[in-house]
Amino acid sequence: MADEKRQVESVWSRESRIAIGRALVETHPVPMSAAELASATGKDPSNTKKIADELVGDGGLEHVKPRSPEGRAGRRTRQAFAFAPGERDRFVAFFGEGPSTSLHPGQHLVFVDTSALNDGLLDCLARPGLVARASWSALCDGERQELVIAFDGPTAADASLDLMAALSADTVKATRASVSKVSSSSNLLRWAARVKSFTQ
């Protein structure tokens, strides 16, 4: 397991590579051209092709025949990109299915105190191996300003613990929690009424 983790980390080592992987997870098993990957990730098309070609060289992706243009005008792409055999499963096991922004049971959340932006905090947040594994983040403004970073998937606990360790090493205040239940407001009202009946 540790060897496989190191292998995945070495192939998907940067935010730009992880963004390409997430885009391909969304369209799997349909391959994507460099232009489609650039559009999905919001990156420069020529740079995206270069990064995707590097991923082919590192074994994360493979060149495949592009899908049919379906009657669209214009020059047809000569090649597209897809996960190399077995690589999608490794990617999903490490990074989760995708950037779902919903809160749901099984997620691991890291609450980071951002009231004092210092170099330690910024260094941690700039490390793709830590933060790019997250599904979503949210800034909560209140008496204490906090950044909430959510992790999904089978490695969510490890990913959140890795981030906590890095934050602790840089003396950044943070706490961690896992989501055990998500309910509607009507369920919350029913639960409160039921518990109140026990105490009367």
Q: Per-residue pLDDT for 199 more than 80?
A: no
The bridge status of strand 174-178 relative to strand 108-113 is antiparallel
- Both tokens of 143, joined, read 């008496």
pLDDT given for residue 71 in this prediction = 45
User: What is the pLDDT averaged over residues 56-73?
Assistant: 78
User: Where are the domains positioned within the chain?
Assistant: 2-95, 97-200
Per-residue pLDDT of 96-111, as tens digits, reads 765 556 788 888 999 9
- Both tokens of 133, joined, read 């594994």
User: What is the pLDDT averaged over residues 60-88?
Assistant: 78
pLDDT band at 2 (very low <50, low <70, confident <90, very high): low
Domains 2-95 and 97-200 share a fold: no
Work out the mean pLDDT of the chain and round it to a whole number: 84
Distances (CA, A) of 9 to 3, 68, 85, 89, 139: 10, 33, 17, 14, 27
- Both tokens of 183, joined, read 């309910």
pLDDT band at 75 (very low <50, low <70, confident <90, very high): low
pLDDT given for residue 1 in this prediction = 55
Q: List, as one string, the DSSP characters of 99-165.
A: ---S--TT-EEEEEE-SS--HHHHHHHT-HHHHTT-SEEEEE-SSS-EEEEEE-STTHHHHHHHHHH
Q: Per-residue pLDDT for 147 more than 60?
A: yes
- Both tokens of 74, joined, read 């214009």
- Classify residue 173 as exposed, middle or buried by CB count within 10 Å of its CB (0-12, 13-18, 19+): middle
Among candidate residues 146, 173, 176, the one with its CA nearest the CA of residue 161: 176
Please give the Cα distance from 160 to 130 (Å, whole number): 8
Radius of gyration of the chain (CA): 21
pLDDT given for residue 68 in this prediction = 62
pLDDT given for residue 83 in this prediction = 95
For domain 2-95, say whether CATH 1.10.260.40 is its number: no
pLDDT given for residue 174 in this prediction = 94
pLDDT given for residue 129 in this prediction = 72
pLDDT given for residue 63 in this prediction = 94
Among candidate residues 135, 182, 123, 181, the one with its CA nearest the CA of residue 159: 135
Superfamily of segment(s) 97-200: Ribosomal protein S10 (3.30.70.600)
Q: Per-residue pLDDT for 185 more than 70?
A: yes
Q: Per-residue pLDDT for 6 more than 80?
A: no
Instruction: Identify the DSSP state of 102.
Output: S
* Whole-prediction pTM: 0.58
